[in-house]
Amino acid sequence: DIVMTQSPLSLPVTPGEPASISCRSSQSLLHSNGYNYLDWYVQKPGQSPQLLIYLASNRASGVPARFSGSGSGTYFTLQIRRVEAEDVGIYYCMQGLQSPGTFGQGTKVEIK
Amino acid sequence: QDQLVQSGAEVKKPGASVNVSCRASGYRLSTYGLTWVRQAPGHGPEWMGWIGIKNGDIKYAQKFQARVTMSIDTSTITAYMEVRSLRSDDTAVYYCARCLSSFGLYGMDVWGQGTTVTVSS
């Protein structure tokens, strides 16, 4: 199975400041079709996970432009341009290249 | 609005089976893939399996292969997941989620509300 490793595991943030989460995979997520099969999800307290970014850099429908994803191969980053209070939650990366899909451990984002 | 509506909470004894349903609303189930994910208390999500509804392909995570069956009833646009021989560590919230592609495991853009399964004697 592909192992996903996130850092940091805890991220205190100040509203209005940028934030960044990294995710590494134990194998390349770059398919021969040129796409990297890496998603980002956020789970807010008491809710189902929500898709933020798919195929490494594509924002899902309705996701604010302050969220962006980048990276290729085995290293990926989720960036929040200016954090807002509503962004608190646990952020997960997940690889969808091969079965079984695997999630990172999660990064808890909280307001300072 | 596209939605996935799951069945209600279940309490089961060890060794029993549970069947969780997931009904699609507002879109054609056959156009997308469907993934099942579970989340034990205090833990992150765990991928269980995926159904490529268009081609009937089903992929299971190896740890669930022997105890889990996923299926689709296209006439009622409902997906089902049965977990057999339940153990206490199967206690979790079980989610179904739509995948953006009918062929890929990625991009779970619509999620059900979750079904809490509690396994206790």
pLDDT at B83 > cutoff 90: yes
Q: Do A54 and B106 touch (CB under 8 A)?
A: yes
| Closest CA in chain A for residue B111 | A48
Q: Which residue from A112, A82, A69, A78 is spatially nearest to A18, judged by alpha carbons?
A: A82
Distance (Å, whole) CA A40 – CA A54: 7
Lowest mean pLDDT among A96-110, B40-54, B79-93: B40-54
Q: What is the pLDDT of residue B26?
A: 83
Closest CA to B50 of B91, B81, B88, B19: B81
**pLDDT (tens digit per residue) in A31-42:** 999 999 999 999
State the nearest Cα–Cα gap between A38 and chain B, in angstroms: 7
Which of chain A's residues have a Cβ under 8 Å away from the Cβ of B37? 49
Q: What is the pLDDT of residue A93?
A: 98
